[in-house]
Structure 1
Amino acid sequence: MLISKADVDRILSALPHLHRGPGGAAAVLKDGKLISSRVWGYADIDRGIPMTVKTQFPICSISKQMVCLAMLSLSRDPTATMRQRKESPKTQFQLELQKLLPHLAGRADVELTIENLCNMQSGIRDYWAMTTLYGARPDGRFSLLHDAPKSIELCKQFHFSPGTEYSYSNVNFYVLGRILENVAGQSLAQLLVERVFIPAEMRTASLNPNTNGLPLPIVGYEGDEKLGFFRATNRIEWAGDAGIAASLEDMIAYEKYVDRSTNDPQSLYYTAMQSVTFSDGKPAAYGTGLVRRNVAEKETIGHGAGLRGFRHYRVYVPSERLSVVVMMNHETDPTAATDHVLKEILQWKEPEYPVYEPARNWFGDFLDAETQLYITVEKGKESGTLSIRYARDAEFVRLTSDTRAECRTMTAEIDGDVLHITRISENRILRATRIPKPSDLDIYTLKSEDYTGSYYCEEAESTFHCTGGNGTLYASFTGFLGDGPKWLMRYIGGDVIAMGNPRGLDASPPGDWTMVFKRDGNEKVIGCTVGCWLSRNLKFVRSA
């Protein structure tokens, strides 16, 4: 495939218009060589400091694959400290995992492995989502020294058995970072420099755990053109699940490193990019800090990244030896940006599909019995499509008959009042029953007093406060991070109520939490199950 610089220049020139905001940076590489790069706008729009190829961004979750590379390097070339021990590097990692997570990794009935962490198959709830229940405020502080260890201490149960499913959890990589430091006898920053940044020739990349002290002059922005853009406040610390800062020059060097590694079976990245499976042998899309996706009928391997005020994506197409990197200091969809660039370069056109009209019983809200999460089905943006919201964002599926729909990551079928969904990428099957739709009058006259009060979750050491009246309810949480803000609740139907969580310590936020209230034989509410797609099935018991 021949790619001209003029064509790539034209394609990249569209990004500032398709994803309007303060600034950004992008690059395209082919066969390990830079075809074109582009920077636009401002690193700090208030001070008029322009974006450059040397401007360092927090690359957030793209850090995960680099932490995995450091782990693979230690497995092959242990430090002097590691060589003094009798055990193999893998055994040393596993023993340290058991020390850090004694409630989970030390259990006799379930095995939790290092691979489960790297592949997002641990079954551990995401700690950034859980901070909402711990009483965090969206612009609050989170300390690696004081708060992260307490969060890990509260990891007492799985929300699925390790190895059986996929669920994104930043805990996995926070723990992995600590394992590497403790076993290697070196800081994660030093390990990354010696084992990733220097080999990849990422000359200005560094571990920068404090999001309140990002490398100058970069500033992240919330907002949009209608609301206006304003400086994002970040005061969390992270190292392992994120934390690396890198410029576009650094990322171009990394993509060159990726390309020369891809066909070298001895390279670290070659090992990292190999496909993984779930415990039942089915293929998994996520492995070793990398995500496999099909774009324009091509397999891609990459990862996205986000922090309040920042969105990035890097992707590599092995069959074409093609790389795309997009980094922006505002909140837009970086996956859409890289997909646009890839599709334009590959000259890919969306095929025409037969259009089916959906059966009427598709639409509404449903409750999955096992996850205790509500699912909303609505009409899609295009004819012959549906919008299904189970995780944070709506996903679009195309109808293949009036009662069946699918996309690359999900199949769905409606059977009367039962919604069947197979979440292919998560290796999970949902069976959700319809929640009777309340009338407007039902919503306005909801018996708020049935639900108001306090509820305690022993596992999370969290108190849920339900307040309000006259049909309007609010939720707040008290935990080790303090007293959180009041969040709006929205009545779904029956005893199911959603709590909006549009902002959190990390980005992207959890979105809606599902609260399923339980009653005793006298119809008195005695507790509830609270969960979101990142952290499911937390039991709260009424305490007041």
Structure 2
Amino acid sequence: MNFLATCRHFFSIAPIFFSAAAMADVNNTLQKAELARRVDALFSAYAADSPGCALGVILNGELVYKKGYGNASLEFGVPIDPEKTLFAIGSTSKQFTAAAILLLVQDGKISLNDDIRKHLPEMHNYGTAISVDQMLSHTSGLRDYTVLMTMGNGVREVDYSSDADAMAVILRQRSLNFAPGSHYMYSNTNYFLLAKIVERVSHRNFGKFLQDRIFQPLGMHHTRLRDKYDVVVAQRAMGYAPVGGGGFSMKDVNWEQVGNTGVLTTVSDLTKWDQNFYESRVGGEWLVKQMQENAVRSDGVALSYARGLIVDGAYRGMRSVHHAGDTAGFHAQLLRLPDERFSAMVLCNVDGVDQTLLSFKVADLFLAEEIKKRGATASNQTAKDAVIAPAGKTMSSESQLASYTGVYLDRYAQSLHTIELKAGQLWYIAPQRERVALEQSGEQRFRLPRKTENTFQFSKQDKRQLLNIVYRSGEPVELDRVRPIQTDYIHLEDYTGTYFSPEINVHWTIVAKDGKLFKQVQREATKPMNPVFEDAFTVTVDDQDLLRFTRDSRQRITGFIVDNPRVLNVVFSRERSGVQID
């Protein structure tokens, strides 16, 4: 009997549950008490006086392991119960929205190729169609409303926000991140609007649709949609955040948008949903297949995102299906390894948890024998690149190599990549990584020797110097060479002033103090800005914004463009002259 067949026969120690069938024939190579000790050690930080997590493990269709660690409510000392405690699962909700859309496709009420304006005619006409399917795969180009709503106006997840607030900012947008289908960029706007389409087509409240078509048919009797911030929900866990010096503060979700988020569920109920991917009770085999079909960009590049799920080989090369969720005070992950008939659910009610890493570590314990057979590496985490010595001879002259050097910007990730020349050898420096030698593999083409399958292709387009990096996944990323900072010529007063963006309806003020620029917006602390290349700054602390200032023909600053990992090309125009901090 192999390990996977015997794992389902593990033991029970209160309050951990194992089925009666799982009591027999325990694998001798990993004793039951030792397994429990190792699992408990992963969650040892969550004790009786802290919030924590619920864990569930499924093998061969059985929930063989479930346990609660910590409290669902610190105020009332209510421990987490994996059977009954409801957690907000954030973006893990997206798979239910995708399933709802596919059920309507089966009903013949919508098509995956429908232009979204067929169902949401109030949407701005961007001059190109955006399909329902592009929204499902995050290739629509629609900007993320959650970023737009928090970009420079001090709104937080714990503040109240209604559907109307979200729709208002979505309808103000006049540009896309990119042409629909041409790129992947995660955006909550896609799934928020998909829920609206479900409501309009089905003539039912989205939560009612999920109950009628998914939750009740699968026996997910505890699961529900929370679309009102003040509704009382029995057995619901409260969200928390650690406080410096000890203790916790309350941090709960007060946004009412759903589709991209909003599902409350338990470990036990998620087990029933997980089983549907094997039994196909809801939607049949077609729906299950469609949800796990990887999206393809318009240029033919396959993506790891499918429909509401990520499908890849992220776990030691095994085929994995997963989607994490993060929302105020909550973290969730449902990891499925379908070929091993293994799933791990980690639901937490405290900030600072890496729920995905925890799910992988749980898999490490339960699939130890299978991993050993595969000869997998000890960690699924990408190690920090070491310096690799040059290998082989280059085919380009040193002057040609020198023409490739410089700093390149990936605008989609707001990351800077550096190419250097040293002793006739090109070196690559990725963000927060060590220098790695490049080996030439063709004309203007390079690779990382003995390291990865990543390739580097240099080219010119008009006046642009480009670097295309094709990662092992097959997805190419285009980077632009940017002009380096001339620190001796930076005049901070050129940039100071007040700027306005009509698309997000906010003002930003740029001020100067002690030789640095700072960003000031309402309800936020003043944040320092760091120059990264000519006329471009990043906002430090917790922002991910890249500001690229624009100039007129007389070289006067006229505004700036903001890029963010989920929002590109938000234009701010200058309103008045500079301001100086006292």
| Fold conserved between structures, TM > 0.5 | yes
Deviations 1:1-31 (Å, cap 9, x if unpaired)? Answer: 3353237534432321378862101111112
Residue 217 of structure 1 deviates from its aligned partner by 4.5
TM-score normalised by structure 2 residue count:
0.76
Contact 1:8 1:28 in 2 (8 A): no
Task: State the Cα RMSD in Å.
Answer: 3.9
Contact 1:276 1:286 in 2 (8 A): yes
Look up the match of 1:475.
519
Look up the match of 1:507.
none
Deviations 1:88-113 (Å, cap 9, x if unpaired)? Answer: 66687855445142323xx3xx2210
Contact 1:61 1:304 in 2 (8 A): yes
Paired residue type of 2:414: L
Residue 114 of structure 1 deviates from its aligned partner by 0.3
Distance, in Å, in 1 between the alignment partners of 2:435 and 2:37 is 31
Cα 1:149–1:263 change in 2 (3 A) is closer
Distance, in Å, in 1 between the alignment partners of 2:236 and 2:90 is 17
Question: Relative contact order, CA 8 A, sep 6+: which one is greater?
Answer: 1
Distance, in Å, in 2 between the alignment partners of 1:227 and 1:173 is 37
Distance, in Å, in 2 between the alignment partners of 1:412 and 1:498 is 28
Among 339, 345, 352, the residue aligned to 2:360: 339
Residue 319 of structure 1 deviates from its aligned partner by 0.9
Number of aligned positions between the proteins? 504
Distance, in Å, in 2 between the alignment partners of 1:181 and 1:407 is 52
After the TM superposition, which of the residue ranges 412-421 and 450-459 deviates more from structure 2?
412-421
Mapping for residues 307-346 of structure 1, pairs under 5 Å: 307-331=327-351, 332-346=353-367
After the TM superposition, which of the residue ranges 171-180 and 293-302 deviates more from structure 2?
293-302
Among 100, 119, 125, the residue aligned to 1:103: 125
Residue 467 of structure 1 deviates from its aligned partner by 2.1
Contact 1:142 1:235 in 2 (8 A): yes
Mapping for residues 1-40 of structure 1, pairs under 5 Å: 1-4=4-7, 5=10, 6=32, 9-17=36-44, 22-40=51-69
Contact 1:277 1:284 in 2 (8 A): yes
- Kindly indicate whether residue 260 of structure 2 is the aligned counterpart of residue 219 of structure 1: no
Mapping for residues 289-438 of structure 1, pairs under 5 Å: 289-294=308-313, 295-331=315-351, 332-347=353-368, 348=371, 349-350=376-377, 357=387, 366-368=407-409, 373-375=414-416, 388-389=430-431, 404-405=447-448, 411=454, 413=456, 420-422=468-470, 427-433=475-481, 436=484
Deviations 1:152-175 (Å, cap 9, x if unpaired)? Answer: 212322111111111000000111
Distance, in Å, in 2 between the alignment partners of 1:341 and 1:386 is 35
Look up the match of 1:505.
none
Paired residue type of 1:307: T
Gaps of 5+ in 2: 11-31, 391-400, 420-426, 440-445, 460-464, 577-582
Residue 520 of structure 1 deviates from its aligned partner by 3.5
Look up the match of 2:22.
none
Classify the secondary structure of the residue corresponding to 2:238: coil
Residue 474 of structure 1 deviates from its aligned partner by 2.4
Deviations 1:470-509 (Å, cap 9, x if unpaired)? Answer: 323322447xxxx66543322334322111362xxxxxxx
Contact 2:113 2:132 in 1 (8 A): no
Deviations 1:16-70 (Å, cap 9, x if unpaired)? Answer: 1378862101111112111211211111224322111111001111111101111
Contact 2:141 2:183 in 1 (8 A): yes
Residue 343 of structure 1 deviates from its aligned partner by 2.8
TM-score normalised by structure 1 residue count:
0.81
Among 281, 293, 313, the residue aligned to 1:274: 293
Residue 301 of structure 1 deviates from its aligned partner by 0.7
Cα 1:241–1:414 change in 2 (3 A) is same
Among 264, 267, 286, the residue aligned to 1:245: 264
Residue 127 of structure 1 deviates from its aligned partner by 0.9
Cα 1:428–1:91 change in 2 (3 A) is closer
Distance, in Å, in 2 between the alignment partners of 1:148 and 1:137 is 12
Distance, in Å, in 2 between the alignment partners of 1:200 and 1:300 is 23
Gaps of 5+ in 1: 83-87, 379-384, 503-510
Look up the match of 1:59.
89
Residue 218 of structure 1 deviates from its aligned partner by 1.3
Distance, in Å, in 2 between the alignment partners of 1:426 and 1:489 is 35
Contact 2:238 2:252 in 1 (8 A): no
Deviations 1:59-91 (Å, cap 9, x if unpaired)? Answer: 11111110111121222236xxx6xxxxx6668
Contact 2:145 2:188 in 1 (8 A): yes
- Kindly indicate whether residue 496 of structure 2 is the aligned counterpart of residue 452 of structure 1: yes
Paired residue type of 2:292: M
Cα 1:354–1:40 change in 2 (3 A) is closer
After the TM superposition, which of the residue ranges 228-237 and 58-67 deviates more from structure 2?
228-237
Look up the match of 1:161.
179
Contact 1:220 1:329 in 2 (8 A): yes
Distance, in Å, in 1 between the alignment partners of 2:337 and 2:435 is 25
Cα 1:372–1:198 change in 2 (3 A) is closer
Deviations 1:492-540 (Å, cap 9, x if unpaired)? Answer: 34322111362xxxxxxxx420011223344432221211111012222
Contact 2:218 2:281 in 1 (8 A): no
Deviations 1:258-279 (Å, cap 9, x if unpaired)? Answer: 3323999635323312233222
Contact 1:263 1:270 in 2 (8 A): no
Contact 2:214 2:282 in 1 (8 A): no
Cα 1:12–1:100 change in 2 (3 A) is farther
Cα 1:300–1:10 change in 2 (3 A) is farther
Among 131, 137, 149, the residue aligned to 1:131: 149
- Kindly indicate whether residue 100 of structure 2 is the aligned counterpart of residue 73 of structure 1: no
Look up the match of 2:395.
none
Distance, in Å, in 1 between the alignment partners of 2:241 and 2:319 is 32
Deviations 1:159-208 (Å, cap 9, x if unpaired)? Answer: 11111111000000111000110111011011100111012221110010
Contact 2:527 2:539 in 1 (8 A): yes
Residue 432 of structure 1 deviates from its aligned partner by 3.9
Cα 1:177–1:365 change in 2 (3 A) is farther
Residue 367 of structure 1 deviates from its aligned partner by 4.6
After the TM superposition, which of the residue ranges 3-12 and 299-308 deviates more from structure 2?
3-12
Among 476, 496, 502, the residue aligned to 2:536: 496
Distance, in Å, in 2 between the alignment partners of 1:358 and 1:239 is 47
Cα 1:513–1:90 change in 2 (3 A) is closer
- The percentage of counterpart residues that share the same residue type is 22
After the TM superposition, which of the residue ranges 364-373 and 238-247 deviates more from structure 2?
364-373
Distance, in Å, in 1 between the alignment partners of 2:196 and 2:163 is 12
Paired residue type of 2:569: N
Residue 454 of structure 1 deviates from its aligned partner by 1.4
After the TM superposition, which of the residue ranges 467-476 and 257-266 deviates more from structure 2?
257-266
Classify the secondary structure of the residue corresponding to 1:146: helix
Cα 1:359–1:164 change in 2 (3 A) is farther
Deviations 1:372-402 (Å, cap 9, x if unpaired)? Answer: 9342679xxxxxx99844xxxx7x7996857
Contact 1:468 1:474 in 2 (8 A): yes
Contact 1:410 1:421 in 2 (8 A): no
After the TM superposition, which of the residue ranges 422-431 and 176-185 deviates more from structure 2?
422-431
Among 269, 273, 277, the residue aligned to 1:258: 277
Cα 1:456–1:411 change in 2 (3 A) is farther
Residue 151 of structure 1 deviates from its aligned partner by 1.7
Look up the match of 1:539.
571
Contact 2:160 2:255 in 1 (8 A): yes
Cα 1:372–1:244 change in 2 (3 A) is closer
